[in-house]
Amino acid sequence: MRTRYLIFLLSVVPGATLAASGVTFPASKIDLKPQSVTLPGSGARYEGPGAAVLNTNCLLCHSPAFVDSQPPLPADVWKSEVTKMRDSFGAPIGDAAIPDIVRALVERHGLPAGNAPGGEGEAGASG
Ligand code: HEC
């Protein structure tokens, strides 16, 4: 019983004392100032062929160095990679963007030996 009374006193008295002492707090004015920070990583963006579509769809999770270090792949493999990014990892990639992304990736990486480019935008589709 004594302990409960003590706890009650400790929790109420400081607030009551402050209020009784007439202490007022000025209306706080938050003054936000711009800060400059250097984040780890290069902050690099994709440049060169297909840069715009890769900056929009891949930079969110991958540095250009990561994607550019991938080997040459046939278009259909890139397509399933991009689809996997969306379906497995939640990348916000719209269906309409996929052909442009695949074209950009094939253009940047080239095709593996033995994968002759097909018609426009269908590079490597045959095989
Ligand atoms: C929402 C985040 C996200 C976005 C956006 C994203 N990826 Fe990924 N990506 C991942 C994750 C997670 C992995 C798996 C990493 C691991 O296994 O360590 C990955 C792995 C990869 C790999 C390695 C092979 C593999 O399948 O694991 C490649 C290549 C790749 N991504 C390419 C791309 C390309 C190209 C784009 C843009 C079209 C893209 N990613 C967009 C999350 C993303």
| Dist. CA 5 → ligand 1 center (Å) | 60
pLDDT at res. 25? 75
Residue 28: inside a domain, yes or no? no
Contact 109, 73 (CB under 8 A): yes
How does pLDDT run across 29-76, given as a tens digit for each residue?
888 888 887 766 667 899 999 999 999 999 999 999 999 999 999 999
Rounded to 10 degrees, the C-alpha dihedral 100/101/102/106 comes to: 100
pLDDT at res. 109? 94
Which residues form the pocket of ligand 1, taking CB atoms under 6 Å from any ligand atom? 57-58, 60-62, 67, 70, 81-82, 84-85, 89-91, 101, 105
Domain count, the chain: 1
CATH code of residue 72: 1.10.760.10
For residue 88, give the amino acid letter: S
pLDDT at res. 35? 86
Residue 70: inside a domain, yes or no? yes
For residue 58, give the amino acid letter: C
| Dist. CA 113 → ligand 1 center (Å) | 24
Q: What whole-number distance in Å separates Cα of residue 127 and Cα of residue 110?
A: 14
Q: Minimal CA–CA distance to 89: which of 49, 123, 61?
A: 61
Range of 81's domain?
51-109
Residue 85: inside a domain, yes or no? yes
Residue 34: inside a domain, yes or no? no
Q: With 80 as the cut, is the pLDDT of residue 1 above it?
A: no
Q: What whole-number distance in Å separates Cα of residue 56 and Cα of residue 98?
A: 12
User: What pTM value is reported for the model?
Assistant: 0.70
Half-sphere exposure of 63 (CA within 13 A, CB side): 8
Residue 21: inside a domain, yes or no? no
Mutate to test the pocket of ligand 1, among 57, 84, 89 (most ligand atoms within 8 A of CB): 89
How does pLDDT run across 86-125, given as a tens digit for each residue?
999 999 999 999 999 999 999 999 999 887 665 444 444 4
